[in-house]
Amino acid sequence: MNTIIKKTCACLIVAILVCVTMTGCGNRVDKNGSQKAEDGRSYGGLVEAQAGDKVSTVFFDCTVTQSQKCGTYQFQDGLYMAGDGKTYLVVTLEITNTYDKDLPMSITDFTLDYSEKEDKTIVTGYGNSELGSNDFMDNVFTLKQGETIKKSILFTVPDRAEYILCYKEYYEDKFEGDSYEIRIVPEVLEPQVTTESTEASSQDAETPTEETATEEAGEASDENTEDTQEALDDTGIIEE
């Protein structure tokens, strides 16, 4: 009788150990390293993709449709040089809300990483607020359920052959989901990328009339020139 009890206990211990090695009995890690929380939400995974791939997060589908870089950029108040060893990088994204409700979003949801990065600072970009162009992403906006937008982000970064656009899922209750990294190999433009050329390449964006664009640029210039100048204090203006 004692022998039977001992064998039963031994089998139970083995079963428990098997469950532990499988990350909690039923909480298996998938190919991206993602696990499931008790409420079914995924977390801890890393999805890697290339520019041009459709990346499906829990909230939206996202595709990097274009990326361009150059050493100078035409801002509202003049032509600026990126600085020694740096470049201006314009990344264009197409995003579709696939969630079951409207999504509050921010331009800072998308960050940039690159090789030989010296510190752990988060690299964010500039959008409509700084550049005064509707083809660029607003700093804060709401993506309505089912809505698709095509917007660009401008980064000032060290000049590299390729970059990584990063996104991580954050829920309203501060639960952190999976992470996403999209490899970007930008097209090199000479001599410069301009707001006007970016607008022309965005076929799906609304094209304002010349009169409207002039009024908007004037208003944005008055409001944002000071902030933009401060944010770009490591660049040099080469033409007004």
Give me the pLDDT at residue 2, please.
Answer: 52
CB-CB neighbours of 24 under 10 Å:
11
Alpha helices by DSSP H, the chain: 2-21, 128-131, 195-201, 210-231
- What amino acid is encoded at 148 in this protein? T
Q: Residue 41: phi, psi to the nearest 5?
A: -80, 140
Say which CATH class 46-205+228-232 falls into: mainly beta
Give me the pLDDT at residue 113, please.
Answer: 95
Give me the pLDDT at residue 20, please.
Answer: 41
**Domain ranges, ordered by start, for the chain:** 46-205+228-232
Give me the pLDDT at residue 106, please.
Answer: 96
Give me the pLDDT at residue 36, please.
Answer: 95
Give me the pLDDT at residue 120, please.
Answer: 82
Q: What is the chain's pLDDT, residue by residue, as a tens digit (240 residues)?
A: 554 444 444 444 444 444 444 444 446 678 889 999 999 999 999 999 999 999 999 999 999 999 999 999 988 888 999 989 999 999 999 999 999 999 999 999 999 999 888 778 899 999 999 999 999 999 999 999 999 999 999 999 999 999 999 999 999 999 999 999 999 999 999 765 655 555 555 444 443 444 443 444 444 444 444 544 454 545 565 555
What's the burial of 238, exposed, middle or buried (CB within 10 Å: 0-12/13-18/19+)? exposed
CA distance 187 to 177: 32
Give me the pLDDT at residue 19, please.
Answer: 42
CA distance 175 to 43: 9
Among residues 148, 128, 147, 130, the alpha carbon closest in space to that of 138 is found at 128
61 close to 95: Cβ distance less than 8 angstroms = yes
Give me the pLDDT at residue 193, please.
Answer: 62
